[in-house]
Amino acid sequence: MNIVGISACTSGIAHTYIAKEKLIKAGIEFGHKVRIETQGTIGIEDELTKEEIEAADLVIIAADIKVSGKERFKGKRIVEIPTNIAIKAPKQLYKKIEAELNSKP
C-alpha cells in the first residue's frame, strides 16, 4: 500500500520523530511505501505533497495533539493513533490495519 501520514507529539522534540521512524521501518517490512510528515517544535518537515496524498491508499495520523492540514486527506481512509502506539507496537498496528481492510467487503 501507499501510506502517508503525520506524526506530532506534545513537546515536538522526540516522540514525533521516533514515531515517524518506527512507522516507516515497520511499514517497509510489511511491503508498504510509507511517507510521514512531522509537525514538531521546529515546524513541519518532510511535508507531504499533493501527489503523494492523492496516491495514498491510507493515512496514518500518529499524534498526541491537534495536527494541522487534516483537510488534505478528505475522502481518504484515515487511521488515528497516539504516538505511543506507533512507537510501542508499529508491527501490530500494520497487522491490525490489514486485518480490518481484509474484513471489509
Partner 1 sequence: MSMRIDELEFSKVISEDLIQLDLKATSKIEVIEELTNLLYVNGFISDEEGFIKDVMYRENEGVTGLEKGIAIPHGKSAYVLKTSIAIGRTKKQIEWESMDGNPINIIILFAVKDTDKTTTHIKLLQKVAVLLSDEEKIEQFQILQTKEEILHLLSRNL
Residues in contact with partner 1 by CB under 8 A are 9-11, 13-18, 20-22, 40-42, 64, 84, 87-88
Q: Shortest approach of partner 1 to residue 17 CB, angstroms? A: 4
Say whether 43 is catalytic: no
DSSP assigned state of 73: G
**Interstrand relation of 78-81 and 58-63 (parallel, antiparallel or unpaired):** parallel
DSSP assigned state of 105: -
Q: Shortest approach of partner 1 to residue 92 CB, angstroms? A: 13
Query: Scanning the structure block, which residue is given the C-alpha cell 516507516?
Result: 24
Q: Shortest approach of partner 1 to residue 14 CB, angstroms? A: 4
Q: Which is nearer to partner 1, 8 or 56 (CB)?
A: 8
Helices (H), the chain: 15-29, 50-55, 83-88, 90-103
Residues recognised as catalytic = 9
